[in-house]
Amino acid sequence: MAAPPDLATLLADETRVAELPAEQIPALLASIAALQTRLGALETAVAAKLALPATPPPVPPYSVEEAAALLGKSKTWVWRQARAKRLPGRKAGKTWTFPRDDFERLLRRRAHIAA
């Protein structure tokens, strides 16, 4: 008994099904059922991925200029405070940046103390 033709061949030209011997049809139907099961699982996985909320784009950190403006201080003052670890800054090369979450927490704490 010859092996059933490849499913891709049959999908490309479905008229070839008429050429199949009757004894190959059960094996072909079993192959189709297995593929349907796999496609169903794939469909479920893709639908679940689409249902997830989109992750927001990363928020860029504050620059020295932005940090200085938010604090009402000079850039030099901000650099000094960051170097002394009194501000939540990070240095990459010659550039200081201030992660928004950490910096905003600092601003809230300062506002609470001032109140």
- 80 and 104 housed in the same domain: yes
- pLDDT for res 3: 66
The total number of structural domains in the chain stands at 2
Q: Does residue 36 belong to any structural domain of this protein?
A: yes
The predicted-structure confidence for 60-77, as pLDDT tens digits, reads as follows 999 999 999 999 999 999
Average pLDDT over residues 79-106: 92
User: In this predicted model, which residue has the larger pLDDT, 105 or 12?
Assistant: 105
CB 80 within 8 A of CB 71: no
- 103 and 79 housed in the same domain: yes
- 17 and 47 housed in the same domain: yes
Is this model's pTM higher than 0.75 or not? no
Burial class (CB within 10 angstroms; exposed 0-12, middle 13-18, buried 19+) of 70: middle
Q: Over the chain, what is the mean pLDDT?
A: 88
**In which domain, by residue range, is 22 found?**
7-51
Q: Does residue 57 belong to any structural domain of this protein?
A: no
- 66 and 99 housed in the same domain: yes
